[in-house]
Amino acid sequence: MKKIKVALYEDNVGLRDVLADVVRSSSEFELAGEFGHCLDAIKNTTVFSPDVIIMDIDLPGKSGIDA
Protein backbone atom coordinates (compact mmCIF):
# COMPACT_ATOMS: atom_id res chain seq x y z
CA MET A 1 0.00 0.00 0.00
CA LYS A 2 1.33 3.46 -0.96
CA LYS A 3 1.71 5.83 1.96
CA ILE A 4 0.12 9.28 1.86
CA LYS A 5 2.85 11.94 1.94
CA VAL A 6 2.10 14.80 4.36
CA ALA A 7 3.80 18.20 4.62
CA LEU A 8 3.38 20.24 7.80
CA TYR A 9 3.54 24.03 8.06
CA GLU A 10 3.43 25.19 11.69
CA ASP A 11 5.48 27.91 13.38
CA ASN A 12 4.88 26.58 16.91
CA VAL A 13 7.81 24.16 17.26
CA GLY A 14 6.20 22.07 20.00
CA LEU A 15 2.98 21.58 18.05
CA ARG A 16 4.90 20.89 14.84
CA ASP A 17 6.96 18.23 16.63
CA VAL A 18 3.82 16.55 17.98
CA LEU A 19 2.12 16.58 14.57
CA ALA A 20 5.27 15.22 12.92
CA ASP A 21 5.44 12.41 15.49
CA VAL A 22 1.79 11.51 14.83
CA VAL A 23 2.42 11.34 11.09
CA ARG A 24 5.63 9.33 11.55
CA SER A 25 3.93 6.84 13.87
CA SER A 26 1.23 6.00 11.34
CA SER A 27 1.64 3.12 8.94
CA GLU A 28 -0.55 4.98 6.40
CA PHE A 29 1.35 8.30 6.28
CA GLU A 30 4.86 9.45 5.46
CA LEU A 31 6.25 12.84 6.52
CA ALA A 32 7.20 14.74 3.35
CA GLY A 33 8.52 17.73 5.27
CA GLU A 34 7.95 20.05 8.21
CA PHE A 35 8.34 23.79 7.98
CA GLY A 36 8.07 26.81 10.29
CA HIS A 37 6.86 29.22 7.60
CA CYS A 38 5.29 29.02 4.16
CA LEU A 39 7.47 31.49 2.25
CA ASP A 40 8.93 28.58 0.27
CA ALA A 41 5.71 26.56 0.00
CA ILE A 42 5.74 26.35 -3.79
CA LYS A 43 9.40 25.26 -3.88
CA ASN A 44 8.86 22.77 -1.03
CA THR A 45 5.80 21.31 -2.73
CA THR A 46 7.73 20.86 -5.96
CA VAL A 47 10.70 19.23 -4.20
CA PHE A 48 8.84 16.99 -1.71
CA SER A 49 5.59 16.31 -3.66
CA PRO A 50 3.23 15.93 -0.69
CA ASP A 51 -0.22 14.44 -1.24
CA VAL A 52 -1.61 16.46 1.68
CA ILE A 53 -0.55 19.76 3.25
CA ILE A 54 -1.48 20.64 6.82
CA MET A 55 -0.91 24.38 7.17
CA ASP A 56 -1.38 26.81 10.03
CA ILE A 57 -3.30 29.93 9.00
CA ASP A 58 -1.27 32.42 11.06
CA LEU A 59 2.33 31.93 9.93
CA PRO A 60 5.19 34.45 9.96
CA GLY A 61 5.92 36.30 6.71
CA LYS A 62 2.90 35.04 4.81
CA SER A 63 -0.41 33.65 6.00
CA GLY A 64 -1.33 30.06 5.34
CA ILE A 65 -4.40 31.29 3.47
CA ASP A 66 -2.26 33.36 1.09
CA ALA A 67 0.13 30.46 0.57
Question: What is the model's pLDDT at position 1?
Answer: 86
Type of residue found at 29: F
Per-residue pLDDT of the chain (67 residues; tens, 9 = 90+): 899 999 999 999 999 999 999 999 999 999 999 999 999 999 999 999 999 999 999 999 999 999 8
Q: State the virtual CA torsion across 28, 31, 36, 42 in degrees, nearest 10.
A: -100
Question: What is the model's pLDDT at position 57?
Answer: 95
- Cα 47 → chain centroid: 13
Question: What is the model's pLDDT at position 49?
Answer: 97
